[in-house]
Structure 1
Amino acid sequence: MTGDGPPRARAVHADPAAPASPEQQPLPEAVTRKPVQQKSPAEWAYERLILYLKNFEEQLDNEHEVAIGLTGTEAGVIRIEGIGYFDPDIVTFYGTDMTGARTQLVQHVTQLNVLIRALPRETAETPPRRIGFQLARELDNG
């Protein structure tokens, strides 16, 4: 964050035909309603995580869903079913692990390291869950 202007972001991709990443797109109105300087680190991290998840999901086929790999831990992968934050500095991921056990990861924003992954859908009969799109709608509504 710098001064009173919009936040700075930049990304360069080796493939010029690569889809635009969140750093290369304008911030949605839902994210710019409140100035960055008035957001807690948790709220600002939460909003940007939503942008990354939605962008990742836009590139998935119907056979895959988004999950996160936990970096710096042996806990493995969580199929994301929800994300939250608790001001001023906590971000929480809700979901299930690869065995189907309910899982919740609570992280301080200074320790936030998330590996976004594609996992095959749990069942072929159900459509893939798109948590990033759902979270983005909630931002718009709220």
Structure 2
Amino acid sequence: MEYTRPGPGFPMPSAAPRSADENLAGTFYRRLLQWVSDFDQSLDEEHEVGVRCVTSGQTMAFHLSTISYCNPALLRFVGVTNAGEPVELIQHISQINLILVKLRRRDPGQPKSAVGSGSCW
């Protein structure tokens, strides 16, 4: 198969200019918070947002309490396991691979709280 170069009249689609901010952790963080909030709103009062991640062939789930970021490219997820052990997951935005899951609330006697947020821990 031979490649033929298009002639001078070949129309090229114009690429919309992209902001440098589109690839920052802060931009991804805002999208992620919206997805988490939407997921949380779909849950009943007995459940809260959990995160399941798969790394090195192992699966881990935890109750998500806080998401934060540090530009240009790091996200931090803080929570606790079902056993009450603290968890902090720090990932580069190019490696984010999370599953939002419904977990039974650890303390149903306390008011349900939204996932907190913060920047540049």
CA distance in 1, matches of 2:89, 2:97: 12
1:3 aligns with 2:21: no
Which residue is 2:54 aligned to?
A: 71
Which residue is 1:60 aligned to?
A: 43
The structure with the largest helix share of the pair is 1
Structure 2, unaligned runs of 5 or more = 1-14
4+ residue stretches of structure 1 with deviation over 3 A? none
Structure 1, unaligned runs of 5 or more = 6-35
Residues 45-71 of structure 1: per-residue CA shift (max 9 Å, x gap): 111110100000111100100010012
| Residue 99 of structure 1, CA deviation | 1.4
CA contact (8 A) 2:21 2:27 kept: no
Which residue is 2:80 aligned to?
A: 96
CA contact (8 A) 1:78 1:97 kept: yes
Residues 63-94 of structure 1: per-residue CA shift (max 9 Å, x gap): 10001001234251121111111111100001
Residues 2-61 of structure 1: per-residue CA shift (max 9 Å, x gap): 7347xxxxxxxxxxxxxxxxxxxxxxxxxxxxxx53355211111111010000011110
Structure-to-structure mapping, 1:6-45, within 5 angstroms = 37-45=20-28
1:81 aligns with 2:94: no
Larger Rg: 2
Which residue is 2:5 aligned to?
A: none
Which residue is 1:11 aligned to?
A: none
State how many pairs are aligned.
Answer: 104
Q: Quickly say closer, same or farther: Cα 1:123–1:38, change in 2 above 3 A.
A: closer
The structure with the largest strand share of the pair is 2
Report the 3-state secondary structure (helix = DSSP H, G, I; strand = E; otherwise coil) of the residue aligned with 1:76: strand
Give the RMSD, CA atoms, in angstroms.
2.2
CA distance in 1, matches of 2:81, 2:71: 26
Q: Quickly say closer, same or farther: Cα 1:97–1:75, change in 2 above 3 A.
A: farther
CA contact (8 A) 1:66 1:80 kept: yes
Q: Tell me the percent identity.
A: 24
